[in-house]
């Protein structure tokens, strides 16, 4: 899996949120294991 594919996958899972300069990670959706 390349970087672009990984980013698209994480977007579909709702892990990224739009930000002014790109995107950020929703810390509440990060797995803690």
pLDDT in tens, 1-33: 788 888 788 778 776 666 666 666 666 666 666
Q: Which helix (H) or strand (E) holds 9?
A: helix 3-12
Residue pair 24/16 in contact (Cβ under 8 Å)? The answer is yes
**Any idea which residue has 């980013």 for tokens?**
7
Domain count, the chain: 1
Q: What is the pLDDT of residue 16?
A: 67
Q: Is this structure's pTM higher than 0.75?
A: no
pLDDT of res. 6: 81
Q: What is the pLDDT of residue 10?
A: 78
pLDDT at 13: 76
What is the model's pLDDT at position 1? Answer: 78
pLDDT of residue 22: 65
The domain in which residue 23 lies consists of 1-32
């Amino acid at each position: 899996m390349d970087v672009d594919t990984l980013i698209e996958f994480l977007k579909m899972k709702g892990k990224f949120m739009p930000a002014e300069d790109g995107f950020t990670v929703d810390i509440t959706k990060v797995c803690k294991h």
